[in-house]
Copies of this chain bind each other. A is one copy, B any other.
Amino acid sequence: MITESFVIPDAANILQAAARINPFVNRTPVLTCHAVDRMLGARVFMKCENFQKVGAFKARGATNAVLSLDQQLLRNGVATHSSGNHAQALAWAASLAGAKAHIVMPSDSSKVKVAAVKDYGGIITFCEPNLDSRESTLERVIGETGATEIHPYNNVNIIAGQATAALEFFEDAPGLDILMTPVGGGGLLSGTCLSAHYFHPSTKVVAGEPEQANDAWQSFTQKHLIPSVSPDTIADGLRTSLGSITFPIILQHVHAIVTVREESIIKAMRFLWERMKILVEPSSAVPFAALMEGKLDIAGKNIGIILSGGNVDLDNLPWSHHE
């Protein structure tokens, strides 16, 4: 078990996380497409975490974090505030251990997401839709229940869990020159670059980020953590700020962060649906959008992309509004 003082997961932590979560999570497939390879002049491999439990890679970190707790802690349950995939993932992971998951959700959360958290057995407390209310409500819930907070990304067990996607990817795709993920809070990105560093150091890790939520790019470029202020992107999973644990890992091990336009995200998402039949959410399409924009020198290279999730509202698709 990783303790609080042990801030950066090491290789053993990631391998332990993989062993711990493997009975519960899906080994997601890696898909390829000749049309993509021809279009980009590279070999592109996509690891489909949209087919992961709860529809997103978040199941990995949440499972590792929950199953890393001892029985005594589990008795009081776990808690987080989230309106996104982490809420579902934590509710689902807690149910595996027979533990309670207290989820603080803003009152304007989509009905679909609230229903999904309830489906997985999560106990929801609603709060005002702002960060202050989310944090104070979570503090109150933790005070009342004694639950252990599981932060969506700024948590070493979460990071070690997310790192297992890259671990599988290195096994299933040949010699990746570049491995791409989107970046929001940096849980997937920091885990991915740690896995590359420990297990496949010839792979350069590159993140894709929306131009209109480019706090990670700014932080990376200016080498100090700049919070996300009024992000305005369809990629709803990428609106958060980096964390005190994820940022230093990213700064040390990530090769580059590239930003993309909103219209490119929608175009890339539609391409993945239409041509590859892979149903992804906007955040997942960001790295592929960067390739379509020609932001990277990839000629002749092997490029891996982790497609992070597939939770979308089918009654509200982005191209319905853009024609």
Contact = CB atoms under 8 A, between A and B. Distances in A.
A319 B320 CA distance: 13
A315 B323 contact: yes
A277 interface: yes
A276 interface: yes
A35 to B, nearest CB: 8
B314 A270 contact: yes
Given A29-B29, A314-B270, A276 B323 contact: no
B310 A55 contact: no
Interface in A9-37: 29, 31, 34
Contact of A277 (B34, B50, B275): B50
B314 A319 contact: yes
Contacts of A279: 273, 277-279
A274 interface: yes
Contacts of A317: 314
A51 interface: yes
B277 A55 contact: yes
Given A29-B29, A51-B31, A314 B274 contact: yes
Interface in A286-310: 310
A51 B277 contact: yes
A51 B307 CA distance: 15
Interface string A268-285: 001001111111100000
A277 B48 CA distance: 10
Contacts of A270: 314
Interface of A: 29, 31, 34, 50-51, 53, 55, 270, 273-280, 310, 314-315, 317, 319, 323
